[in-house]
Amino acid sequence: MRLPQRKAAVLFCAAVSMPAVVTAETLDQAWETARATDFGLRSSQFLAQSAEAARSAAARGRFPSVSANGVMVQLDNAPTIESPIQDNLTIPSPIRLPLLPSSFSFPVPADLQQFDLGEDKLTQATITATLPIYTGGRLTNITKAAESQVDAAGWSVRQTEQELKIRVAEAYVNVLRAQGGAGISDREVEAVSGYVKDVQNLYGQEMVAKNDLLSVQVYLAESQQRNLQIKNAVQLAQSFYNNMLGRPLDAPVDLEPLEPAPETPGATLESLTEKAIGNRPELNNLSAQTESLRYAAKAIKGGLLPQVALLGGMIYVDLDTLEDNTIGYAGVGASWTLFDAGVTRKQAEALSKRRISSEELLSQARTLISLQVRQTWLARDEALNRLKLAQTSLDSADENQRVTRDRYREGMGTNTEVLEAETRRTAAFTNYTNAKYDAVYADLRLKYVVGGI
């Protein structure tokens, strides 16, 4: 009993794409494997962790800080203070009498004319606590800039992951395409081999010329050569796929087949473009970078305002001449750079120019992504239309090949017509397979360009 031609064609294409192992690897499993082994993704994840650490450091800038320092020096001489008292001390007489002198002079001992402050070694230790209370918005903006960098790093990780997934998906589809092509080539070699046997039988019965036998033998040899090339292409596609997943290049590859996804109702080009503008990690990354530059410029400008902080601490000085070697202190410290030749303003201006440059890139990226969505949308539409035509062509090519071979057996057709019919049939199956996997990949890429693969 002969199956309907369309059903037979569909079953054939499913058969050439079906892996031999029941537990075939799915695309989701391939993505998970790639995530665990891709160096680029791990690198972006470490950068995200670095950005988070920088944000935490910036946020801690407003907390108190405690520092300690000390010094121990050897002096060439012990420090001394010269007394204003000279060799003789003259004291006026409090009583003015004729018989008494108006003043009295006493010799001053040498140890009262010069005082030693300590030894010729000096040791000092200081502990200082500082708490910023006003920085002109510098610390606040530094923290916001670091938070924007965290957002940018997170979007960068997502972008790297999305790019990895579309590359794996492309390799996955290429393996299916190559395996499908190998199946078609195997079927062609098998069909032509059977036809060669038919011609040999007819030639043995002297019903066809030797030229017919030679023609089909040449055609079979060419089919076998193409089969070798296609099998090699399968090996290359599988090796590239294994490399993407961090596996040995010669590891066996058994993949779950994919089918074109049905069209989503209400998914218009305009709605997908709008969704892409909001979801694409590249745009969100650039936007976060722009915000970070804006806050960084404000932080630098904050340095032009007074910087006020609470101060407190203790000082220890190792001097025998001091009654109390430990001195505590507390107060308010302030600093204000009144003139720096415009260095700070130019630094802020440099960041502002970079922010404007980033905004220009952001505008350009929106335009390019809109174009990318449109191109992918049109490519998907083209592939789906080609797939419909290829399905119709399969029926005609299969029926044409059957009728032509029947006519040749009955002596009503030529060998050339049979070979041409076989060529058209193989081309029809090849066009169907290519259209199918073009549509599958276009579906995946459309999800990627919209930002949600």
Q: What is the pLDDT of residue 86?
A: 58
Q: What is the pLDDT of residue 3?
A: 39
What secondary structure does DSSP assign to 222-259, as a single string? Answer: HHHHHHHHHHHHHHHHHHHHHHHTT--TT----B----
Q: What is the pLDDT of residue 108?
A: 53
Q: Can you read off the two tokens belonging to residue 9?
A: 């064609």
C-alpha–C-alpha distance, residues 368 and 271, integer Å: 16
> Could you tell me if 176 and 347 are in contact, meaning their C-beta atoms sit under 8 angstroms apart?
no
Locate the domains of the chain by residue range. Answer: 5-79+117-450
C-alpha–C-alpha distance, residues 453 and 450, integer Å: 8
Q: What is the pLDDT of residue 21?
A: 41
The three-state DSSP-derived secondary structure of 8-66 is HHHHHHHHHHCCCCCCCECHHHHHHHHHHHCHHHHHHHHHHHHHHHHHHHHHHHHCCEE
C-alpha–C-alpha distance, residues 219 and 356, integer Å: 65
CA 301 to centroid of chain Cα atoms: 32
C-alpha–C-alpha distance, residues 305 and 292, integer Å: 21
Taking alpha carbons only, the member of 155, 153, 152, 145 closest to residue 58 is 145
The DSSP output letter for 255 is: B
C-alpha–C-alpha distance, residues 17 and 180, integer Å: 5
Q: What is the pLDDT of residue 396?
A: 86
Q: How many CB atoms neighbour CB 184 within 10 A?
A: 23
pLDDT tens track for 22-57: 579 999 999 999 999 999 999 999 999 999 999 999
pTM, full prediction = 0.78
CA 21 to centroid of chain Cα atoms: 35
> At residue 143, what are phi and psi to the nearest 5 degrees?
-65, -45
Taking alpha carbons only, the member of 432, 429, 426, 448 closest to residue 383 is 432
What's the whole-number average pLDDT of the chain?
85
Q: Is 128 helix (H, G, I), strand (E, B) or coil?
A: strand
Q: Can you read off the two tokens belonging to residue 408?
A: 């040749």
Q: How many CB atoms neighbour CB 327 within 10 A?
A: 12
Pick the CATH number of 5-79+117-450 from 3.40.640.10, 1.10.630.10, 3.40.50.920, 1.20.1600.10: 1.20.1600.10
pLDDT means over runs of 10, the chain (453 residues): 43 47 82 93 95 94 92 76 57 53 55 58 88 92 95 95 95 95 92 86 82 87 93 96 93 93 79 92 94 94 92 85 82 90 92 93 94 93 91 85 81 81 89 93 93 82
Q: Can you read off the two tokens belonging to residue 209?
A: 């010329």
Taking alpha carbons only, the member of 170, 166, 171, 165 closest to residue 238 is 171
CA 192 to centroid of chain Cα atoms: 50
The three-point CA angle 298-301-306 to 5° equals 125
Q: Is 179 helix (H, G, I), strand (E, B) or coil?
A: helix
Q: What is the pLDDT of residue 6?
A: 46
Q: What is the pLDDT of residue 371?
A: 95
C-alpha–C-alpha distance, residues 61 and 183, integer Å: 66
> At residue 116, what are phi and psi to the nearest 5 degrees?
-85, 130
Q: How many CB atoms neighbour CB 308 within 10 A?
A: 15
Environment class of residue 216 by beta-carbon count within 10 Å: exposed (0-12), middle (13-18) or buried (19+)?
buried
Q: What is the pLDDT of residue 134?
A: 92
C-alpha–C-alpha distance, residues 206 and 102, integer Å: 166
Q: What is the pLDDT of residue 317?
A: 83
Q: What is the pLDDT of residue 107?
A: 60
What secondary structure does DSSP assign to 389-407, as a single string? Answer: HHHHHHHHHHHHHHHHHHH
> Could you tell me if 189 and 217 are in contact, meaning their C-beta atoms sit under 8 angstroms apart?
no
Exposure string (b/e) for 248-260, b if CB count within 10 Å is 16 or more?
eeeeebebbbbeb
The amino acid sitting at 27 is L
